[in-house]
Structure 1
Amino acid sequence: MRSTLLLACFVGLWTAVNSLKICAFNIQSYGEAKASNKRVMEILIKIISRCDLSLIQEVRDSRGKAISALLMNLNRYDTSHIYTHLESKRMGKTTYKEQYLYIYRKDMLQVQEQYQHLKLYEAAAESQVFSREPFIIRIHSPTTLIKNFVLIGQHTCPKKAMKEMEGLFEVFQTIRKKWKTENVMFLGDLNAACSYTTNKGLRNVHLWSDPKFHWLIRDEQDTTVREKTHCAYDRIIIHGKELLSGIVPESAQPFNFKQEFGLSEEQALKVSDHYPVEVDLKPNHRYHLRNEL
């Protein structure tokens, strides 16, 4: 009995250590001002270095200096990995522009293809479904049970959240056909909670009503920093049996960096008004055994 328990503990610990962590973080207007704030940058680096891949949202860096600073500091902080990035075009229907940014460990993952959704599905751009078109990448992950899957990163406009979430279903259909895959993860600040959604409206959103889509960040979870709010704005949604079976159970959570780093609300809000959300993928034990022998 004791040996069985020890084995279970060992397997659980090994899975936790060797799993691959995917995160999504709305940093809230990340630009040169935050990049030049030493204390804020230290916290951001600690948060992002926990993840093998992060989708960063609300990047407002017209000169590219804030992105360069983030990568430079990240690689200095964590020398056990090599971090690289992919950035989208600057997007927005007005003078307000944002970028998406994927930061990932290139010694752990391979990005096989990337697309900005506006190139894939012109009708969506013409009808202005999205304020910021999704940024999509196709991943090869040799260290996990699931080897190939797609990430669709999205930051919705709050006032059009449900319309844009329904637009993501059209994106999914395009990607499924183009790359011939069912294994898709949606992630980002979807504003999918509180005053930006209604029960009636969500019933018309395929990602919500179709049982093939699994919402890993649940409604009762809080992805906001402010004490006065309790909303699951940031989400991770899974499609595909293979990808779903490759998720570490109960690993999808917001990361409360305020509590983790002992920050006051005021201090935490200088970093962001959102918590990152994260999920772990199960490791490929054969891969890790082969590389550890």
Structure 2
Amino acid sequence: MPFLYLVPVLLLLLLCPAGALVRICAFNTQRFAQGKAEKAKVMDVFVKILSRCDIAVLQEVMDAKGKAVPALVDALNRFEGDSDAYSYITSPLLGRSNYQERYVFMYRNKKTRMLDSYKYEDNHPDRPDVFAREPFIVRFSLPNKELPELVLIPQHTMPSKAETEIDALYDVFLNVHGRWGIEDMIFLGDFNADCGYVAKKRWGDIRLRQKPGFHWLIGDKADTTVRENTRCAYDRIVVHGDRCLDAVVPGSAQAFDFPKAFGLSEAEALEVSDHYPVEVELYSTCWRLQPASPAGLVLLALAMVPWHKV
């Protein structure tokens, strides 16, 4: 059988080494703090989940003492066999009264760099103090000439205010655009965007849903919950910007069913979280089929020779 049939595959291997895609994840870690960090089996699952991601955005991190997150990153780096595999940045504690959380970004150093960050000032003149946990916004570099930078905007809404907070993310979009002049953004996290918290008839009033240019990659029929007796699309990924949308690998946006992937019972999975992570993959520059190196072209030419079985 001629190797000519293998040309497309070989071409991709030449131009796109393993790991060329960039996977971005969002995960409600359900009250992640020292108690979970001290459970070896739970941490093992967290590490397996996060090692799949080049950038992971964690919500509901309640690490008031600041010890659980470094422990998780250390465990992740030991798993990778590289003490510098992942870095991280955390928001300050966010929230009202005694209930406070952090947003945490963990990112693979070989794939991206953190360029800038800031906490959204929740003081819009028409809608002050909308967010129970205002977004902590981070700008990253990407290995993509067409999409060299990308802004990630996480949100964990208060369930009873989900409609209002999701709508107000449009004000955050305007704020980010005014600050950095960037169009390419991903909004992601536990929006509580289903199952009674957002009425179907209200979607028409939510600007993040209705304004042109926003693309909801996790649909309303998705299930992002671990419990077998629930089916809710709480967690979402929303992209803005033509270059960002063009970089999305079709069909890659999904919830990651980690109990099934790792053979966990529902009870074992719930020790980790009651949410699935949601994720999306982006192409890197090589998937734009840039010219191959001279050596690569030689290999490609050899692949086109009609070899036959001996």
Q: Same fold (TM over 0.5)?
A: yes
Q: State the partner residue of 2:6.
A: 6
Larger Rg: 2
1:102 aligns with 2:105: yes
Q: State the partner residue of 2:87.
A: 84
Shift in alpha-carbon separation, 1:144–1:102, aligned structure 2, 3 A: farther
- Cα-Cα RMSD: 2.4
Which residue identity lines up with residue 77 of structure 2 in the other structure?
N
Shift in alpha-carbon separation, 1:141–1:288, aligned structure 2, 3 A: farther
Q: State the partner residue of 2:124.
A: 123
CA-to-aligned-CA distance 1:229-278 (integer Å, 9 cap, x gap)? 11111100001001100111111011100000011100000000000000
Q: State the partner residue of 2:211.
A: 210
1:190 aligns with 2:207: no
Which residue identity lines up with residue 174 of structure 2 in the other structure?
Q
What is the distance in 1 between the residues matched to 2:62 and 2:125?
24
Shift in alpha-carbon separation, 1:8–1:228, aligned structure 2, 3 A: farther
Contact 1:19 1:144 in 2 (8 A): no
CA-to-aligned-CA distance 1:36-66 (integer Å, 9 cap, x gap)? 0000000000000110000001001111110
Percentage identity across paired residues of the two chains? 42
Q: State the partner residue of 1:174.
A: 175
Q: State the partner residue of 1:61.
A: 63
Shift in alpha-carbon separation, 1:174–1:10, aligned structure 2, 3 A: same
SS at match of 2:130: coil
1:113 aligns with 2:113: no
What is the distance in 1 between the residues matched to 2:26 and 2:173?
19
Contact 1:88 1:101 in 2 (8 A): yes
More helix by share: 1
What is the distance in 2 between the residues matched to 1:122 and 1:60?
24
In structure 2, stretches of 5+ residues that fail to align are 297-310
Shift in alpha-carbon separation, 1:27–1:2, aligned structure 2, 3 A: farther
Contact 1:26 1:189 in 2 (8 A): yes
Q: State the partner residue of 1:258.
A: 259
Q: State the partner residue of 1:73.
A: 75
Q: State the partner residue of 1:45.
A: 47
State the TM-score, normalizing by the size of structure 1.
0.92
Residue-pair matches, total? 290
SS at match of 2:233: coil
Q: State the partner residue of 2:156.
A: 155
Bigger Cα displacement from structure 2, 126-135 vs 157-166: 126-135
Q: CA deviation at 1:2?
A: 7.0
In structure 1, stretches of 5+ residues that fail to align are none
Which residue identity lines up with residue 69 of structure 2 in the other structure?
I
Shift in alpha-carbon separation, 1:69–1:158, aligned structure 2, 3 A: same
